[in-house]
Amino acid sequence: MWRSAREAEKMKSQVLFLFLLSLFGGVISQQIHYSIPEELAKGSRVGNLAKDLGFSVRELPARKLRVSAEDYFSVSAESGDLLVSGRIDREKICGQKSECTLEFELVTENPMNIFHVTVAIQDVNDNAPRFLTKDIDLEICESALPGVKFSLDSAQDADVESNSLKIYTISPNQYFSLSTKESPDGSKYPELLLEKPLDREHQSSHRLILTAVDGGDPPLSSTTEIRIHVTDANDNAPVFSQDVYRVSLQENVPWGTSVLQVTATDQDEGVNAEITYAFLKAPTSTGLFFSLNPNTGEITTNGTLDFEERNRYVLGIEAKDGGVHTAHCNVQIEISDVNDNAPEVTFMSFSSQIPEDSDLGTVIALIKVRDRDSGQNGVVTCYVQGEVPFKLESTSKNYYKLVIDRTLDREKISEYNITITATDRGKPPLSSSISVTVHISDVNDNAPVFHQAAYVVHVPENNPPGASIAQVSASDPDVGPNGQVSYSIVASDLEPRALSSYVSVSAHSGVVFAQRAFDHEQLRALELTLQARDQGSPALRANVSLRVLVGDRNDNAPRVLYPALGPDGSALFDTVPRAAEPGYLVTKVVAVDADSGHNAWLSYHVLQASEPGLFSLGLRTGEVRTARALGDRDAARQRLLVAVRDGGQPPLSATATLHLVFADSLQEALPDLSDDPGPSDAQAELQFYLVVALAAISVLFLLAVILAIGLRLRHSSSPAAWGCFQPGLCVKSGPVVLPDYSQGTLPYSYNFCVASHSAKTEFNFLNVTPEVAVPQDLLSGDSSVAVCANNEGPQIADESSFSSHQAPPNTDWRFSQAQRPGTSGSQNGDETGTWPNNQFDTEMLQAMILASASEAADGSSTLGGGAGTMGLSARYGPQFTLQHVPDYRQNVYIPGSNATLTNAAGKRDGKAPAGGNGNKKKSGKKEKK
């Protein structure tokens, strides 16, 4: 039966322990009780604390066990025993209290727990009763009747309970006896009883030994001497109105506050009726707090009363008349509590720095709250002031833990000043506060952020290598290595191997450097992806795009496509009909510029002319037209020196020389080839002699060539070798290799025929029949003229049949507004340089320039009669298209826009239009450009 009750009690304790564990979480309060006698020697064992707490001795150092009452106790790290570390005097600790206990706390940090320990201090009879005075003087009137009682001064014993004062004894005598009385507060005092009347005349004084004995084992005692003086008779003794006076007084009342007034009366008269009041021999503390008026019996406060120090006072008052009679009464003063103590807040454990990614509910501090007041004045409520991500949770009596209540973010708030306020329930309530600072340590939870969503920089070409062209910047709100940002290039539209030769980025500053000089004509834009990476673990990163736009500079001079030197280095010439009207389109200067925008906007200017005023030059188109009709005094051969300038600052230029011959046919133009129109200045005579000498040398050279050819053919046994000189036969050139366009020449092929029935020899240049195919692999070679005999039959019988073989001139050779050649696209000789106004005109502009270049090279406007055409000649054959001409559309500038033409408008045409027969002449005299 007893065993089952014990098991039930054990199960009940386990259930209570689990309930407390779930209630308080990580911090658990446990009450441990010990009982020891006072005055134990230092190092004495109180109990095995480790065993009572359920710890093993080995884990005590790791748990960091701390004792709050370090003055009295300590914990042995070797055995886990609770030891006495200082003198334990129950009387000093608890005074006259019947029960004396020491309450303190044990705190462990790993994990953080708190335990309450109560040690009951058992009294030891180490204090003997002690009288406050060495002797007691007592006056007794001889008329005192037997049975009169006299109260004597009591002895004080610091011990309590059984060890306190128990009994008083007196030395044996025949007049007096002694009894022990107990006051309302539990103290014992002696009372002397007169057993028989005194006779002063027989004996005027008596000496008695008063002994006070406690209840200890063995008992302790002390003595004092009673000296009794027998006086003359005083029939009546004073009498108090009450034997016991009771009064309640609040603590902290001001000094001098009246407590009460005792009153005693005496039926005697005169001196024997004059009563004086005095305190009986009492502890010294009584006189520190109260004073007694000896004449009126009024008791007033003489100090500050503190309920927390002492809540009750018993005062012994004696009233004495003029004689020897006295009376005694007791005054019981109850001190009531006032809310005069604010709560005290103490941190038992505290973590001043916590990471920002700490979990919710993490304990950062243990707090103890204490209020010395009693009742409702000592009930305390604790809370955290302000909006902070922390809260208090009650763990046990007067203990709280401070935990994380919301997510922390160091980038928003790096530290918190936490103020904890404790308020009691007194009226009015008192409160106290304590503040601590919690620092939030950084965690790498923020990636770098670029200051711009994307970067675009403009860099002019020909920049110095190594110069900085841009700077990217990213910020990271983290601190330390988590906020240190480094930069790198992670992607680009270039090959990875070529990227390092173009740009680099400083890892620390984000400055982007150009590793080489950029060329707008080779690289117009560069797309980069830069990355910002912090130094956290793990590292966080962010990317941003950087677009580098290479701006154009005027570093390319215009390039003249036409006129150009012939394949053998000779200068070409154009013929003009003698009957050409003013405004007749003679030829066109075609040039391109590799630059863009204004830097590629070309203008044409006449630097020198043999006959000023005879020709006009289009400022933007480069078209050469007759300004007036040919006069009789005008020379048949004219020379124009044309300058082509771009729109850059400063402008760059190139020159082209035009040789123009006024003649209606080739035979008529040949004699003029050796004539150089002399200038009208002082050098005319010198030039005339030079031209005559040159003509003579040319004639001699021509005769020598003809003679050499005749001798060669005479020795030949093949009659076919003379076929070319037979009547009606024509030597037809085979497939030719076109010159390299990159060398500034236009492609040509030639047919060389001699008509035997004609009085004049006719040279037919630049005639490519449509059926002759030009192989693609021959377009880049040097052109050459092949002369051979055609054995298949006569190609042209006479001059008339030769003329009928040629294609008739195109009478409608002009382009429409959308097909107008030249960079200006103007019509009717408009020299204002108007640019395209719509997208279609813009896309067609490059095709017009190329068509104009080919047309000018054809020379169909000057030979073959008629108005001539500016279209592409059919001599190129169906295989020749605009794809064989360099594309300069990207360099066409549109005023008011930063765009350039990039669409392959020229390729939409498919093939070049056919034109008239070629009439380009090659001079036998080589001239340098």
pLDDT attached to residue 819: 36
Task: Find the largest Cα–Cα distance for the chain.
Answer: 207
**Predicted confidence (pLDDT) per residue in 745-783, tens digit:** 333 333 333 333 333 333 333 333 333 333 333 333 333
Helix (H) or strand (E) holding 705, with range, is helix 684-714
pLDDT attached to residue 572: 76
**Which range (202-211, 637-646, 799-808) has the least confidence?**
799-808
**What Rg value do the Cα atoms of the chain yield, rounded?**
66
Q: How sure is the predictor about 671, in pLDDT bands with cuts at 50, 70 and 90?
A: low
Query: 3-state class of 667 per DSSP?
Result: helix
Dig out the tokens for 743 from the structure: 């060398």
Please indicate, yes or no, whether the overall pTM of this predicted structure exceeds 0.85: no
Residue 7 has pLDDT above 50, yes or no: no
Q: How sure is the predictor about 735, in pLDDT bands with cuts at 50, 70 and 90?
A: very low
Is the separation of the CB atoms in 427 and 339 below 8 Å? yes
Residue 495: CB partners within 8 Å, gap ≥ 6?
none
Mean predicted confidence (pLDDT) in 448-463: 94
pLDDT attached to residue 672: 59
Query: 3-state class of 483 per DSSP?
Result: helix
- From residue 684, give the alpha-carbon distance in Å to each of 613, 671, 691: 19, 19, 11
**What percentage of the chain reaches a pLDDT higher than 70?**
70
Residue 273 has pLDDT above 50, yes or no: yes
Distance CA 780, CA 777 (A): 7
DSSP state of 70: T
Q: How sure is the predictor about 646, in pLDDT bands with cuts at 50, 70 and 90?
A: very high
Distance CA 467, CA 464 (A): 6
Residue 418 has pLDDT above 70, yes or no: yes
Handedness of CA 719, 721, 726, 729 (dihedral sign): positive
**Predicted confidence (pLDDT) per residue in 276-297, tens digit:** 999 887 665 566 788 999 999 9
Query: 3-state class of 839 per DSSP?
Result: helix
Distance CA 781, CA 530 (A): 47
Backbone φ and ψ of 575, nearest 5°: -100, 150
Number of Cα atoms under 13 Å in the Cβ half of residue 521: 15
Mean predicted confidence (pLDDT) in 381-408: 90
Helix and strand numbers, DSSP H then E, in the chain: 11, 52
CA neighbor of 492 nearest in space, from 520, 461, 523, 464:
523
Residue 725 has pLDDT above 80, yes or no: no
Distance CA 734, CA 772 (A): 8
**What percentage of the chain reaches a pLDDT higher than 90?**
32
Q: Which residue has the higher pLDDT, 832 or 690?
A: 690
**Predicted confidence (pLDDT) per residue in 349-382, tens digit:** 888 899 988 999 999 999 999 988 888 888 898 9
Residue 656 has pLDDT above 60, yes or no: yes
Distance CA 150, CA 136 (A): 12
CA neighbor of 380 nearest in space, from 401, 402, 403, 397:
397
**DSSP string across 269-332:** -GGGG--EEEE-S--HHHHHHEEE-TTT-EEEE-S---TTT-SEEEEEEEEE-SSS-EEEEEEE
Distance CA 95, CA 631 (A): 149
Residue 604 has pLDDT above 50, yes or no: yes
> What's the helix, strand, coil split of the chain in %, to 5?
20, 35, 50
Distance CA 889, CA 478 (A): 52
Distance CA 119, CA 121 (A): 6
Q: Write down the residue that tokens 């992607």 correspond to.
A: 491
424, β-bridge pairs: 380
Q: How sure is the predictor about 706, in pLDDT bands with cuts at 50, 70 and 90?
A: very high
What is the distance in angstroms between the CA of the first residue and the CA of the last residue of the chain? Answer: 136
**Predicted confidence (pLDDT) per residue in 298-319, tens digit:** 999 988 888 888 888 888 899 9
